[in-house]
Structures are given as structure tokens and as C-alpha cells.
Structure 1
Amino acid sequence: MILPHAMALPKLGTLQECSDFSKTVMPFLPQLYALPRQILGTVLNGGSFLKLYMETNPFISGLGASIFLGGVFLVAAEVNKNYSQVDRFWSILPTVYVGHFAAWARLAGIPSKRIDAALLFSTIWSTRLTYNYWRKGGYGIGHEDYRWQIVRDMLPKWAFHILNWTFISFIQSVLLYMFASPVYVLLLAIQFEPELSTADIGFTVLELGLILTEFIADHQQWVFQSAKKEYQTTGQVPTGHKQADLDRGFIASGLWAYSRHPNFAAEQSIWLALYQWGCFATNSLYNWTVLSPIMLMSVFQGSTWLTERITAGKYPEYSAYQKKVGTFVPKNLKGYKTPVPKVIRTSDLAKKLQEKEKEESKKQK
């Protein structure tokens, strides 16, 4: 008897083949095209969704879900004229997709300790980032990232709609799924190395360390912004803060003294590390899931450029900060210090005046 899931996974001969796109994804693309019809047939005929789920390649079913959600995000954005629909799910969907691979593996009777390890760090990442987004008011009714309004002002109306129909709704939705794509590679590698290895534990610890770094950076920024808001409201400098720092307008201490965006750096590193985990597990130098970190880094390049353009326009000292502190990677280990204004001593000023008077006297002669 052939189990339903047996036809849903590729037949591979070596560990390295687990990272081969032509063997692990391309043969199953027809399933993606047939999936809407199969779902409709299951609904109309009262079929088993569990059977359909297990008979569909797990990467394909997840990809189909991300495309479907892209359509949902598009409609919601256009109806509400609010373009932060994907933003609300940014911290949630990657873990849902990792959980999808973990659930599929368990239902198929495949050892899942390695995937469970990925699900562990991803769940912690989601919990922390979702909380951070919530406390900033991200889930408030009508809330929209202020940058989307700036982008709307920069583009013609028709161009912004195209941006929403492509990047904002669909591409970002698929990107969130691609975050989890290395877990598919890990799932395939289990048939060759089913046990949790020391390397798997090492990658899990690395991921947790990066999450901790992102937490520290976000918390430092939250504390600073809260203090600045209190200072602007009451005129009193909160305990533990300096007036000069609050007057500067942006945080430049803690991790932010070494990187202008330490939270962004950690966020990108988290998913880059997951990609490297997939490469290591398959003894491959690289694989097709590199698309995930490349897409993510591209998004952060654009987002960071826009954020810094806005910040530099608001705070005069930011340009000096940009020159001394790296965007993501530290330029040095000294840390940023606010430039000290050059003080002209009275004696120096008098000396310059005397020299000027002598020059004028010579000209008159």
C-alpha cells in the first residue's frame, strides 16, 4: 500500500539532492495549478481535506496558501485604503508556515525533531515581534505604517496601485512564505539524517541569540522613544536619560551606537541563518532557498533608505551619525559620540582680530 504522502515528496538518492530545485520543486508545480480545482472539488463532493493536504507536496500547499493570502491582502488594502495589511501578519505568518511543515511531517510519520527545533525559535521570534508591533499600536483599528503615506505622496496614484497589486500584497506575502522555505529542505534531509544533530542544536542556539539581539535593540529604542515622548509632553527629563540625547531626537546609544539599525541587522541574520542551516543539513554550499534572504535584504534596503531619508530630514545631527556608524554592520568598536561643538577661546578671537587689522592696515598703506 502506498501512503498518501509517499507521492507528495520527491524520490531522492542523495542528501545533496534535497537542495536541488529541479528535483524537489519543479516536478510538483502542476499540483499548484491544480490545487484550486481540487479544493473546489473537495468542497462540492464532501471529500477529505486531510487527504488532499497529505497528497499535496508540502512546499506547494504552503506556496498556494501564500498566493491566496496575497489576494486577501490586496482586497483588504484597496477596500480599506490601508496598506499595512501584510505588516499585521509579518511576525505571524512565517511561523505558521514553519508549523505547516512540522504538522505535515508529523502526520506523515516523519521524524520531526529538527523541524520542531526550527519551530521553537520561530515561535519565540513571532511572539516577541508580535508583542513589539502591538505595543507600538500596530494592531489598532485603522493603523497604517507612516511610510506608506510618504510613498503614496511620492508616486502617481496609478503607480501606487500597481505597487500594491504587486509588491505590497503579493510579493510580500510570498516572501513571508519563503522565510520558511529552508524548512522544506530540512524536512527532505530527514530521510537521510533523521536524528537531531549537534549542528542542529548549534543553529537553534544561534537563532535564539539573534532573537535576543533584536529584542535588546527594539527594547532600547522603545525606552528611548517613550522617554522622548514624556520629555516633549512634560518638559522634564526622565530618570536615566540625558537632555542632550533627547534633544538630539534619535537613539544613538546601546547597540545603536555601533549600528544605525541593529534590529534590522538581527532580523535579516535570523533568516539568513535558517538558510545556512538548510545548506549545512544537505552538505551544500548554496541552494535555491537563497531567494529568501536575498528578497528580504532587498526589502530592507528600500525600507532603510526611506526611513533614513525621513529621519535625516527631521534631525540635523543624523548626517554626522550616518558618517560614523554603519547601517547594519559596525564601522568600528568605539561607538558613536555626539560631536562636540568647536569652542573659540577669547584669546584666539582677539588674535584673529589683530591679524585682520594688520592686513587692513597694510592694504591702506
Structure 2
Amino acid sequence: MSGFAWSAFALNLAWAAAAALTVMLVTFARAVRGGPHRIVDVAWGIAFTAVAVVTFAASAGEGDPTRRLLVTALTAVWGLRLAAHIARRGRGHGEDPRYEAMLARAPGSRNAYALRKVYLLQGALVWLVSLPVQAAQYVPGPPSAPFWAGTALWAVGVAFEAVGDAQLARFKADPANRGRIMDRGLWAWTRHPNYFGDFCVWWGLFLLTCDSMAAAAVSVVSPVVMTLLLTRGSGMRLLERHMAGRPGYADYQSRTSGFFPRPPRPSSPRDRKGVGPR
């Protein structure tokens, strides 16, 4: 489909950058006033929602109204659910060990270092990863098969994230599970149901652009970058390194897929104690 509004989309890139930057700077100001820098993780989902809403306003009269509304709604549902989950999970806790270790290496002011290495970097990633959310809203014409396929993939992803997070929260809330590896429910099929869910969400959102070759071409970098972040960057690789060597985790690794879900393999008899925190 032709007719992609390149000039309007180019202006939207600036509006989206401003939206992401505003969310990150407001969050940084809140952290400087006494909150831990871990609240930037809450801002991640909020920033994507802000980009979607700003794009919805800016794309009026350019893209298909139904597509614009659905893209904004899907992004907001994903982003706000994630933000609420992370906020609940971190309530009452101090600084995230990842950020504490990073800030301990700060050559000068910890806050200035956090601004550069955490907030501005995450703001830039939000802008880059959100390209499908922006581009899809400038696609003319009503949604067709790729759009609905993307919506279905998005739904699978959100389900994996929400169900996996709920299962892990219930597991940790039970004192009887203290010191044990979570290997039930979705966690028996993949060691990272939330990361697999994110993968589905962003490839799904990319499919929303595929009624336009131009929009798809400018957006494909987004799911590729998100996939690399989840599998090679700050996602599963860091978590696997953190968990390595804990009692029971090697057996869990041997029988459970690292990313794409599949039925678990049977564990070896000598490793079935399955103890160790997750």
C-alpha cells in the first residue's frame, strides 16, 4: 500500500522523542528527591504509552482512524500493565542490585551518572523500539490480515507476561517455596515466559505496520533490537548469569527451554531436589 505520510512521520519522530524524554526526566527528578533509581523500570512501560498517545494525536488526519486507535490501545494495555506490575513488585524494596552495582562505579556524581547511563539511554531505546507504534499510525487504509495476525501475536505475548508474572508472584508469596526454583505453570515450559511474551508483543506490533512496505521497512529494526535485548543484552543473559550455580538451577536449565516454550524434559534422579532461590 502506498501513500505513507513520510513528512508527517518524520515530525512525529521528534514528538515521540520529546514524549519519551519527558517521562524519563520526570522519573529522574522523582528518584533524585529520594526514590531509588529502580523506578526507571516503571517508567519504561509508561514511556511507550506516552509515545503511543502523542503519536495518536499527531497522526490525526494521516492514518486510518481504526488502526490508530487500536495501535494506541494495544500499546497502552501492554505498557501500563507492565508498569503496574513492576511498581507492585518493587514496593518496599531498596535500590535494584543492578543499578546499585552500576552506580558504585560512577566516576563522579551518582545521579549524573544515572542520568546518562540509565535514563537517557532508556529514553533513546523507547524511541527506537517504539518505531512500529509510531509508523503504524501513519499507514492509510483499514487494517487487513497482517494487522489482525499481529494483534493475535500481541495477545499471546501479553498472556505469557501476565500469567507468568502472576504465577511467579503466587509462588514467591508461599513460605513453603522459600529456597526453591520456580518450575511450574508457564515456567515449566520456558525459563523466561515474561521475556518470550515481550518478544511476541513487539513482533506483533511490528506486524501492525505490514500493510505498508514503507512503514514495515522503517520499523523492522524495533523487534530485532528488542529480541537482542531480551536474549543477548540486559534480559535473560544477565538473569541466567545471576542464577548460575544456585542449587537446582542446573537441572532446571537442562529440562526447561531457555526461551521458546516446549514441554519440559524429565529431570535426572540426582537433581530432583530442585532447591535454590529464584
Instruction: Sort the TM-score into its range (normalised by shorter chain).
Output: 0.7 to 0.9
Question: Does structure 1 conserve the Cα–Cα contact (< 8 Å) formed by 2:189 and 2:256?
Answer: yes
What is the distance in 1 between the residues matched to 2:18 and 2:83?
A: 24
- Please list the CA deviations of residues 112-138 of structure 1 after superposition, one character each: whole Å capped at 9, or x if unmatched: 101211122223223432332233244
What is the distance in 2 between the residues matched to 1:323 and 1:293?
A: 28
1:303 paired residue number? 235
Correspondences of 1:1-365 after superposition (within 5 Å)? 15=2, 18=4, 24=7, 28=10, 57-77=11-31, 80=34, 82-106=36-60, 108=61, 111-138=64-91, 143-152=94-103, 155=105, 157-158=107-108, 164-190=114-140, 194-227=141-174, 230-231=175-176, 246=177, 249-278=180-209, 280-283=210-213, 287-300=217-230, 301-313=233-245, 315-330=246-261, 333-341=262-270
Question: Does structure 2 conserve the Cα–Cα contact (< 8 Å) formed by 1:248 and 1:317?
Answer: no
CA displacement at 1:80 relative to structure 2: 3.8
Matched residues, number: 269
Letter in 2 for 1:84: R
- Please list the CA deviations of residues 146-169 of structure 1 after superposition, one character each: whole Å capped at 9, or x if unmatched: 33224445x464597776343411
Question: Does structure 2 conserve the Cα–Cα contact (< 8 Å) formed by 1:268 and 1:296?
Answer: yes
What is the distance in 2 between the residues matched to 1:272 and 1:188?
A: 18
What is the distance in 1 between the residues matched to 2:235 and 2:146?
A: 33
CA displacement at 1:261 relative to structure 2: 0.5
What is the distance in 1 between the residues matched to 2:247 and 2:110?
A: 30
Question: Does structure 1 conserve the Cα–Cα contact (< 8 Å) formed by 2:144 and 2:211?
Answer: no
Aligned-CA RMSD value: 3.2
Letter in 2 for 1:263: N
What is the distance in 2 between the residues matched to 1:298 and 1:72?
A: 28
CA displacement at 1:307 relative to structure 2: 2.1
Gaps of 5+ in 2: 272-278
- SS of 1:321's equivalent in the other structure is helix
Q: What is the TM-score when the length of structure 1 is the normalising length?
A: 0.63
1:9 paired residue number? none
- SS of 1:302's equivalent in the other structure is coil
- Percent same amino acid at aligned positions? 20
